[in-house]
Structure 1
Amino acid sequence: MKRRGRFAPTPSGQLHIGNALSALASWLQIRQAGGEFVLRIEDIDKPRSRPEFARQQQDDLVWLGIDWDEGPEQGGPYAPYVQSERENLYEAALERLDEAGRLYPCYCSRSELASIASAPHGLSSEGPVYPGFCRHLTAEEREEKGARKTPAIRFIMPSEPIAFEDGAAGWMRYDGDALGDFVVKRADGMFSYQLAVTVDDAAMGITDVLRGADLLDSTPRQLALYEALGSQAPAFAHIPLVADESGQRLSKRDKSLTLASLKQAGVPPERLVGALAHMAGWTERLETVSAAELIGAFDPPKPDRPIVLTSRLMQWLLND
């Protein structure tokens, strides 16, 4: 079976250098394997998403030297490639999960959830671990609470451990109880990232997911969803985030590090690719290189080694 990967940005801002590394790495992985690469726009968070950012992100990827076989504009066999146009699939998945007894309504107020944040629970990509306040409510209690508040919908995590081999981090093991039940549909009707990305990757036949290490603990949650939906899970690999010299991860708020600002400053795409390649360990020295020239050199960087955007590298990038 031909391998299929994807890059799925959220159009809530411009792509920065860290996003560029994730996009380049996922593209190189699939091109090295002779597979198919998909671009999907993850605009499920409608209040934060902007069409102009989606357009800018696609222009930036093309400038960087990244192409895709299927996407929002050219379409493909799994269209549409924009999450806001795929909500019927998420609703159908919720119905299947509900029929399987894997969901329950959560009536917790903001103050109750805020109290969880101050309790000594673990933190994760989903925030504080939810202790299951609403999991065992009686039918009468649910009816009483439902008369006052529209509930969020939570997915019941299995209690047994979830283990998988990550393509960059190695073997990982998580206790389902330690991760907590998570929201798959908010009270305002918005579907969660965890549900949408799982449904989309399964429906689009994605075989390989390469993304940042901040989403590593999303993987056991998504694996539990794949199992509950009876879908084949892809192989996962999580690479380090790009941080500045103080250890702070790059943010979309830092406008000087966006691809658009670098392009406007006259930085050639091959120079940015060269910087990314050196940071990731694909080249021994700083040199200009095209994305296509790196296909043979790709190897996922291990997430135990931080990738730091140093002042020296920035000086070289800007040719100062």
Structure 2
Amino acid sequence: MSVAVRFAPSPTGQLHVGNIRLALVNWLFARSQGGSFLLRLDDTDLERSTAEYAAGIERDLRWLGLDWDRFARQSDRLDRYAAAVERLKAAGRLYACYETAEELSLKRKSLLGRGLPPIYDRAALRLTDADRARLEAEGRTPHWRFLLEHAPVEWDDLVRGPQHFHGRDLSDPVLIREDGRTLYTLSSVVDDIELGITHVIRGEDHVANTAVQIQLWQALGGPVPGFAHLPLLTDATGAGLSKRLGSISVASLRDDQDIEPMAINSLLAKLGTSDAIEARMSLAELAAEFDMAKVARGAPKFDPEELARLNARVLHATPFQAVAGRLQTLGFGGIDAVFWEAVRPNLSRLADVAEWWHVAREPIEPVVEDAEFASAAAAHLPAEPWDDTTWSSWTGAVKSATGRKGKGLFMPLRLALTGRDHGPELKNLLPLIGRERAEARLAGRVA
């Protein structure tokens, strides 16, 4: 059977790095196995789901290069969940419960206070027809629970290894709310069965859900998929990532922080694995290297500084053709391949190109600390055209004429020519500045 996986976000907010790591691992697993990747929007939360968030999810995934082979919306499949509900009722696996949220809370507190697990006591199974009629006459509408079998639940997790649960230690899950809406526990299983999902790859916070859902898969007659539960990302200190931190959303990384998509992919694909974290220039490279066996049990740490370092490395290896259109959008249509090759080793983000465009093409305030030396250097400027050998031949002549060498030779020239004490190699930058600007700057004039 061909591998089929799914990424199933709820369009109730923006995707963040934790979401994207799950999407990426699913995508890489599918591509490494020659399988398919399904994007499914779990949009049945009508109060919080929006078309804007749904469009944002698709935009983020496309920007990262995570294309999907199939697409589904849970809001289009409500009839399938209703059919599954009727099958479970007919099989005696769903039962109506009438406790209010306050009553259930009191039960949980009582159990916890006695040192017992907060497992539902199945009191609703002891209700008579008369009891139910009385409760409904009081205006109570039931929610419906799935009757778990008191039997072992086991699977061999692709990340966590052998997992063991027992039905008697689990609480019968609510599958249908009082308002008739089916919950994730049921709808997700129905979708996975009917859409042919072979592997469910998700966070380790779903391990207990998996134990419950395996019985649900079996009750609905569907094949139980394989599972991989990934440890959850933490921040650089080991604390849990807060969804309130807008800085970890994909939209913020793209629009506010100018991060390259392959920097994000390179980091998240390797976090928490035995592979070294290195810049990769394509998803195909990451897919070729992907192996679920390399995923460790420990919680991986997401460090924005590490992402920034990767971003610089990705830019340093990016060819001009890959950024030409984006540079034009940024207003730098005059940049050509020669300029790009000269400045890209000094870029941390693509927008940094503006600084070096300014230095090479626009008036700057030069820094001339020794006018006599600068004048002597200007006197030895060669005639144009200039190329990447001009810097070496010119500084050699200045060295012979002035006796300067090392930092004492090169730093005053850099300061005069660029107004900065750092930057691209001047053998590459000098031809972009040109003789007229260079001569004026060495004379201390804004040029």
Question: TM-score surpassing 0.5?
Answer: yes
For 1:137 and 1:227, locate their aligned partners in 2 and report how far apart those are by CA, in whole Å: 27
**Secondary structure at the residue paired with 1:280?**
coil
Q: Note the C-alpha offset of 1:315.
A: 4.4
Query: Match for residue 330 of structure 2?
Result: none
- Higher alpha-carbon deviation: 252-261 or 133-142: 133-142
Query: Match for residue 29 of structure 1?
Result: 29
Q: Which amino acid aligns with 1:218?
A: N
- Spell out, residue by residue over 1:97-155, the C-alpha distance to the aligned partner (whole angstroms, 9 max, x if none): 00001111110112111113424459xxxx95323231322222122112220000110
- Residue among 297, 305, 310 paired with 1:304: 297
- Residue among 268, 286, 299 paired with 1:294: 286
> Are the structure 2 counterparts of residues 47 and 248 from structure 1 closer, same or farther at C-alpha, using a change threshold of 3 Å?
farther
Q: Note the C-alpha offset of 1:200.
A: 0.5
For 2:83 and 2:111, locate their aligned partners in 1 and report how far apart those are by CA, in whole Å: 36
Q: Which amino acid aligns with 2:86?
A: E
Query: Match for residue 273 of structure 1?
Result: 265
CA RMSD of aligned residues (A): 2.0
- Is 1:39 the equivalent of 2:29? no
- Higher alpha-carbon deviation: 45-54 or 277-286: 277-286
Q: Normalising to structure 2: TM-score of the pair?
A: 0.65
Q: Which amino acid aligns with 1:55?
A: A
Bigger strand share: 1
**Secondary structure at the residue paired with 2:145?**
strand
Count residues with an aligned counterpart: 307
Q: Note the C-alpha offset of 1:211.
A: 0.9
> Are the structure 2 counterparts of residues 273 and 128 from structure 1 closer, same or farther at C-alpha, using a change threshold of 3 Å?
farther
For 1:159 and 1:251, locate their aligned partners in 2 and report how far apart those are by CA, in whole Å: 37
> Are the structure 2 counterparts of residues 217 and 289 from structure 1 closer, same or farther at C-alpha, using a change threshold of 3 Å?
farther
Query: Match for residue 238 of structure 1?
Result: 229
User: Rg larger in 1 or in 2?
Assistant: 2
Q: Note the C-alpha offset of 1:290.
A: 2.6
**Secondary structure at the residue paired with 2:240?**
coil
> Contact (CA 8 Å) 2:272, 2:296: kept in 1 or not?
no
For 1:199 and 1:150, locate their aligned partners in 2 and report how far apart those are by CA, in whole Å: 24
Query: Match for residue 137 of structure 1?
Result: 127
Matched residues, percent identical?
Answer: 39
Query: Match for residue 8 of structure 2?
Result: 8
**Secondary structure at the residue paired with 2:133?**
helix
**Secondary structure at the residue paired with 1:58?**
helix
- Higher alpha-carbon deviation: 174-183 or 240-249: 240-249
**Secondary structure at the residue paired with 2:6?**
strand
> Contact (CA 8 Å) 1:103, 1:154: kept in 2 or not?
yes
Q: Note the C-alpha offset of 1:61.
A: 0.7
- Which runs of structure 2 are paired with 1:1-320 in the superposition (5 Å)? 1-71=1-71, 81-121=72-112, 128-148=118-138, 149-264=140-255, 265-281=257-273, 283-300=275-292, 302=295, 304-310=297-303, 312-316=305-309
> Contact (CA 8 Å) 1:157, 1:221: kept in 2 or not?
yes
> Contact (CA 8 Å) 1:129, 1:179: kept in 2 or not?
yes
> Contact (CA 8 Å) 1:15, 1:252: kept in 2 or not?
no
> Contact (CA 8 Å) 1:211, 1:239: kept in 2 or not?
yes
For 1:151 and 1:195, locate their aligned partners in 2 and report how far apart those are by CA, in whole Å: 17
Q: Normalising to structure 1: TM-score of the pair?
A: 0.90
For 2:79 and 2:108, locate their aligned partners in 1 and report how far apart those are by CA, in whole Å: 33
Q: Note the C-alpha offset of 1:302.
A: 4.4
For 1:251 and 1:12, locate their aligned partners in 2 and report how far apart those are by CA, in whole Å: 16
- Spell out, residue by residue over 1:171-193, the C-alpha distance to the aligned partner (whole angstroms, 9 max, x if none): 11111121111111000121110
For 1:56 and 1:284, locate their aligned partners in 2 and report how far apart those are by CA, in whole Å: 31
Q: Note the C-alpha offset of 1:282.
A: 6.1
For 2:281 and 2:112, locate their aligned partners in 1 and report how far apart those are by CA, in whole Å: 46
- Spell out, residue by residue over 1:15-41, the C-alpha distance to the aligned partner (whole angstroms, 9 max, x if none): 101111100000111111101111110
> Are the structure 2 counterparts of residues 182 and 285 from structure 1 closer, same or farther at C-alpha, using a change threshold of 3 Å?
closer
> Contact (CA 8 Å) 2:158, 2:227: kept in 1 or not?
yes
Structure 1: segments with no counterpart, 5+ residues: 72-80
- Higher alpha-carbon deviation: 242-251 or 270-279: 242-251
Query: Match for residue 340 of structure 2?
Result: none
> Are the structure 2 counterparts of residues 284 and 318 from structure 1 closer, same or farther at C-alpha, using a change threshold of 3 Å?
closer
Q: Note the C-alpha offset of 1:318.
A: 6.3
**Secondary structure at the residue paired with 2:124?**
coil
**Secondary structure at the residue paired with 1:29?**
helix
For 1:37 and 1:108, locate their aligned partners in 2 and report how far apart those are by CA, in whole Å: 40
Bigger helix share: 2
> Contact (CA 8 Å) 2:259, 2:308: kept in 1 or not?
no
> Are the structure 2 counterparts of residues 313 and 116 from structure 1 closer, same or farther at C-alpha, using a change threshold of 3 Å?
farther
> Are the structure 2 counterparts of residues 155 and 285 from structure 1 closer, same or farther at C-alpha, using a change threshold of 3 Å?
closer
- Spell out, residue by residue over 1:27-76, the C-alpha distance to the aligned partner (whole angstroms, 9 max, x if none): 111111101111110012221211111110111011111111111xxxxx
4+ residue stretches of structure 1 with deviation over 4 A? 317-320
> Contact (CA 8 Å) 1:24, 1:291: kept in 2 or not?
no
> Are the structure 2 counterparts of residues 235 and 313 from structure 1 closer, same or farther at C-alpha, using a change threshold of 3 Å?
same
